[in-house]
Copies of this chain bind each other. A is one copy, B any other.
Amino acid sequence: MQHLPFEIIAKQGQARASVLSTQRGDIQTPVFMPVGTQGAIRALSPQLLPQTNSQIILANTYHLSQRPGAHLVEKHGGLHKMMNVDLPILTDSGGFQVFSLKKSEITEEGVAFAYEVDGKKTFLSPENSMEIQQKLGADIAMVFDECLGFGIDKEAAKKSVDRTTRWEQRSKDAHTRSDQSLFGIVQGGFWPDLRKKSAKAICDIGFDGYAVGGLSVGEGHKIMCDVLDSTTPHMIWDRPRYLMGVGRPLDLVEGVARGIDMFDCVIQTRHSRSGIFYTSAGRIRMTDSRFRNDMYPPDTSCTCYTCSNFTRAYLHHLFRINEVLSATLATIHNLTWFAKFMSNMRESIIKGKFEEYRSWVHRVYPEKESAPPSNRTRNKKNKKNRKR
């Protein structure tokens, strides 16, 4: 394991502003990490990544182990070289993806499943997730855990938490790469006592950082906050904390309020492809006909490449004709916007104004955001356009 220096430079309540030092540079936290699931930030050429002010990105063990295969990534010299990205990278362990598959079979050894794309039978365990992640060569790897879903009874959840603890110990034992850090993951579903138990057990094993897993499974904002309330107080204070799979503005600020430092989410890039732009006046959908003649930039207070150079009318046109440049320009904006959103949040902690910032986020991004168009609708529309 590579020890990650982590310095908390300011705090307000549970919220903290810190510096996480990696071999590829310092990360100012709280930080949002864009997701490059399959070894690419979708629709974004890596040469444009620096201008979004992203500090660290994510990639997924589950997908990459199948395509293009861990061996091939290793042959490139790791993810950074294959993707041509100099930023720190974090890989998840595959746990979350594997457990969301319908036909996975869990034993003490690990999880057997059929890869969703081609049905290929595969097995993931703490040991081979570590082996794969060491081949991928990210700066931070994640332990292989069991992710609890909804509807499980408490007895089963208890057993799962115990097994996850054993799996995380096995992950640590199997992890040998000295230039890669390893984070543990706290599970425990929606039971405060199980969360507490898991937090203590995982912190006792000892990792470079600690994640809160098992959220972002459709539980809603309030339950997410409740789970964090019963989890983070039992996690080591002076190590980085990472809330997995969470990324709406309100979730981010409430996560930070509960002592979280790192976040990842696919909505920033996925919503970009559907025409959704995050702005300082709330979320807008560029495909709305009201933008057809709108000569303003997406967000007048944003200085990203897209906002500096293009009008809503032009972006509306690009989405309307189904031109993929629309996704690129939206991704540049949304990633830049979230990087700024997080750095402003950090500034507010340093200046003792976090509560004002938090109130602003609640005003502009209230709990009941209008739902984004589903991917299904979008695909249907695309098919229709192609046929004509």
Chain A residues proximal to chain B, CB less than 8 Å: 38-48, 67-68, 72, 75-76, 82-84, 116-118, 292-293, 295, 305, 309-311, 313-314, 316-318, 320-321, 323-325, 327-329, 332, 379, 383, 386, 388
Min CB distance A382 to B, Å, is 10
A116 to B386, CA, bound (A): 12
B45 touches A314 (CB 8 A): no
Question: Which 7 pairs across A and B sit closest by C-beta, in order of nearness?
Answer: A68-B317, A84-B309, A324-B324, A40-B325, A43-B324, A38-B321, A45-B328
Min CB distance A358 to B, Å, is 35
B42 touches A325 (CB 8 A): yes
A76 touches B313 (CB 8 A): yes
The closest CB in chain B to the CB of A71 belongs to B293
B47 touches A323 (CB 8 A): no
The closest CB in chain B to the CB of A64 belongs to B317
A45 touches B42 (CB 8 A): no
Residues of B within 8 A of A320 (CB): 67-68
11 A-B pairs with CB atoms under 8 Å apart are A40-B323, A43-B328, A45-B45, A45-B48, A45-B332, A48-B48, A67-B317, A68-B313, A82-B314, A84-B310, A117-B388
Selected from B42, B48, B321, the residue in CB contact (under 8 A) with A67 is: B321
The residue among A117, A311, A329 with the most chain B CB atoms within 10 A of its own CB is A311
B311 touches A47 (CB 8 A): no
